[in-house]
Structure 1
Amino acid sequence: MQDFFTIAKTDFLDTFQGAWIFPLLLIVLVFIFWKEKDDMRRLLLGVLPLLFLFIYWCPLTGMLFMKLLGENVYWRILWLILIAVLIPYGCCLLIGHLKGWLRQGAFLIGMAVIVLCGTPLFQSEEFQASTNDYKIPQNVVAVCDLLPGNVHALVSNRLMPYIRLYDPSITLEFGRNALAYNGIENPTGNQILYAEAQKEEIDVPALAPLAKEEGCTFLVFSNSRTYSDDWEAYGYKEYGHTDEFTIFVDTDYEEGQNTKKWEE
């Protein structure tokens, strides 16, 4: 249970820390309970958000959803609290009870409060100026320009969300949902392959046969990784590299060969 509260607290602070949006949300919920006369709106805009907060913090429901959804995405329950709807609605409810210059003043003050209670979105480190038409990290473009089309690949976690945005003809052994495999004590099936691929020093004799068995023609790892053995002794060789990644290819691969694991 202690682990649950640690994860819930960390995710909650990551979502709301550095802004006053959550206190503003609580004030708005109280105001909706106080002033909203329509029972259905009070239920949808007042009761449901509090219910979702209860579900998020309650250990029984929390641990259940962590098991169903995965610890890495549990925080998305907070997305069910429609802050972008609730706060403007609360402001409109307040403005609707005022007249004349008070209404105009409340509108301006409400807009100012919303701005000041938030955080500068585009100053966040998660946002960067795009350097290509695809609006994806440039290191992904560099890797995709080296990879041929119509192949199956195992790639670094940093590349997973973007590869198929640039070239959908490439199929991937793992997508973002594979992050749920992290922390599994007794991996099975291709979870073992994923676990091997996360090691700082890649155990080549262990990973290479698993990758071949799953039909991974190309392997893409960060340049920071080290390797326990020579890849060519286990059926792979270096294909190319970028500033951040090294690409290996199955020695049985022939240029132009279609090794996709599935068809679109």
Structure 2
Amino acid sequence: MKETWFHILDDFKDYIGNGWFVWACFLAALVFCLVKGNDRRKRLFTFSAVAIVILFNPLVYKVVGEKFMSGVYWRLFWVIPTVITLGITLTDLAAKVKMNLLRLIAVGVLCIVIAKTGTFFFNGDTYCVPENDYEIPQVAIDVSDEIQRITEGGYSTVIVPNELLCYIRQYTANIALCYGRNIWGYMNNPSEQQMELYNLMNAEQIDYQALHDGAKGYGCDFIVFNSDVRQIPDEMESFGYTLKGSTGCYLIYSLE
């Protein structure tokens, strides 16, 4: 139980980040809703309190967090109406100021507080101009299109380098992955066979025969290699690989 509590707190820290001041203001706003608010404000308090109790419940974490939301349980904290509660409460407080000038000053101060406690999102660390309408790396689209060309639009199962794991399925549902983000603990835990394939694919020196046999046994149709990262042997055919296509530095091999 103690370990579960620590997991919940770690997820909460992932959710709150550096926003402890905002969270403290939110808790103060909840108290204001309960003590000074009307029935609607008190319902807002009730919803928030129930959400907090549920999300911090170790039993809920055991059932939901570990089985279905591993690695992303912190996202459930988004259901807590932090911003809405703060906005409503600050509006109520500003409305209590009778003089128009003082009310404008109060609103201005609140805007400054909001701006100073926030973070400018559109900077080089958190924002970049998308390469395409899908807002995913163009190379993921190129690799997917090449596989679709090879299969004539059919369904296939592939293994791709780690840099493409998160994007292939965002572009097309016709390409399944032998393993996805679950290999890093997101959503659900990988199977032993998936972990074996991941370790073979990411070994410092790839055992191409073992990777071929393991992927073939899993039902994989293609393996994509990044030739800028891996030195691909000339004798790939002897391991059971057939080069079917390429795009940029990515080579697409079928498994024979």
TM-score (norm 2): 0.74
Q: Which whole-Å CA distance do the structure 2 matches of 1:54 and 1:230 have between them?
A: 60
Question: Post-superposition shift, 1:167?
Answer: 4.6
Q: Which whole-Å CA distance do the structure 2 matches of 1:241 and 1:159 have between them?
A: 13
Aligned to 1:240: 246
Q: Which whole-Å CA distance do the structure 2 matches of 1:75 and 1:201 have between them?
A: 36
Q: Residues 236 and 248 of structure 1 are in contact (CA less than 8 Å); yes or no, is this contact kept in structure 2?
A: no
Aligned to 1:79: 78
Letter in 1 for 2:60: T
Q: Which whole-Å CA distance do the structure 1 matches of 2:189 and 2:134 have between them?
A: 34
Q: Select which of 186, 200, 204 maps to 2:208.
A: 204
Q: How many residues align?
A: 247
RMSD: 3.6
Q: Which runs of 5+ in 2 are unaligned?
A: none
| Structure-2 change in CA distance of 1:248 and 1:16 (3 Å) | same
Question: Post-superposition shift, 1:236?
Answer: 1.8
Question: Post-superposition shift, 1:77?
Answer: 1.8
| Structure-2 change in CA distance of 1:17 and 1:55 (3 Å) | same
1:107-137 deviations in Å (ceiling 9; x for gaps): 2222222222222222263421223333222
Letter in 2 for 1:83: T
Letter in 2 for 1:46: F
Aligned to 1:111: 111
| Structure-2 change in CA distance of 1:36 and 1:231 (3 Å) | farther
Q: Residues 156 and 221 of structure 1 are in contact (CA less than 8 Å); yes or no, is this contact kept in structure 2?
A: yes
Q: Which whole-Å CA distance do the structure 1 matches of 2:164 and 2:145 have between them?
A: 13
Q: Residues 29 and 89 of structure 2 are in contact (CA less than 8 Å); yes or no, is this contact kept in structure 1?
A: yes
Q: Which whole-Å CA distance do the structure 2 matches of 1:24 and 1:155 have between them?
A: 45
Question: Post-superposition shift, 1:72?
Answer: 0.9
Aligned to 2:13: 13
Aligned to 2:223: 219
Letter in 2 for 1:18: N
> What is the DSSP-based 3-state SS (H/G/I as helix, E as strand, rest coil) of the residue aligned with 1:132?
coil
What is the aligned-residue identity percentage? Answer: 29
Aligned to 1:135: 135
Q: Which whole-Å CA distance do the structure 1 matches of 2:173 and 2:106 have between them?
A: 50
| Structure-2 change in CA distance of 1:221 and 1:72 (3 Å) | farther
TM-score (norm 1): 0.72
Q: Which runs of 5+ in 1 are unaligned?
A: 253-264
> What is the DSSP-based 3-state SS (H/G/I as helix, E as strand, rest coil) of the residue aligned with 1:123?
coil
Aligned to 1:29: 30
Q: Which whole-Å CA distance do the structure 2 matches of 1:64 and 1:221 have between them?
A: 38
1:5-54 deviations in Å (ceiling 9; x for gaps): 4543433333322333322222222222222120x5423x2133233333
> What is the DSSP-based 3-state SS (H/G/I as helix, E as strand, rest coil) of the residue aligned with 1:250?
strand
Q: Residues 242 and 255 of structure 2 are in contact (CA less than 8 Å); yes or no, is this contact kept in structure 1?
A: yes
Q: Residues 160 and 223 of structure 2 are in contact (CA less than 8 Å); yes or no, is this contact kept in structure 1?
A: yes
> What is the DSSP-based 3-state SS (H/G/I as helix, E as strand, rest coil) of the residue aligned with 1:219?
strand
Q: Residues 33 and 46 of structure 1 are in contact (CA less than 8 Å); yes or no, is this contact kept in structure 2?
A: yes
